[in-house]
Amino acid sequence: MKVYNIEAYPIKATVKDSELDENYRRTLRYSFSHKMAATRSGIGWIGKTDLLITSRFGPRVRLASILMTSNISETGNPINESQYGSCNICVKNCPAHAATGELWTTEMDRNEFYDPFKCWEFCKQISAERIKKDISLCGICISVCPQGKK
């Protein structure tokens, strides 16, 4: 896509199951991380249950990204580590026990502080039991997070 002589490549927020490749099924990782792009632009940090956390909205955000060939004069400062400290509310309330409670930094791999497979498997199970759908849905970590609540 090209607008005003700027090349842009939009990366959508949601990928359909039919678009998932074998690498995703093996790692539960996409080729591009909206969350990591958000930390690089200073929007927020990664919380203990691998959600992007913002000061204003907490984990209650939805991300999409646009990569473009343009210099932007104003950008945020990259955030390289968690801003959470000792809060463990999401860790204690996670029914899948997917989080270790360790604080995220850019030097860590996600799997060092969070097990996405535990979360995914539990979410699939409760979605099938409670709403009779073959999806992965929970959201408890989002609902209990005090950051951004007023």
> What number is the average pLDDT over the span 11-34?
84
| Residue 103, domain member (yes or no) | yes
Q: Which domain holds residue 73?
A: 2-144
Which tens digits make up the pLDDT trace of 59-80?
999 999 998 888 776 778 999 9
Task: Map tokens 């646009």 to a residue.
Answer: 66
Smallest CA-to-CA distance from 82 within 49, 109, 48 is with: 48
Can you tell me the distance from the alpha carbon of 99 to that of 93, in angstroms, rounded to the nearest whole number? Answer: 10
Does pLDDT of 16 surpass 80?
no
d(C-alpha 117, C-alpha 96), whole Å? 9
Please indicate, yes or no, if residue 65 is contained in any of the structural domains: yes
| Count of domains for the chain | 1
**What's the whole-model pTM score?**
0.86
Domain membership of residue 150 (yes or no) is no
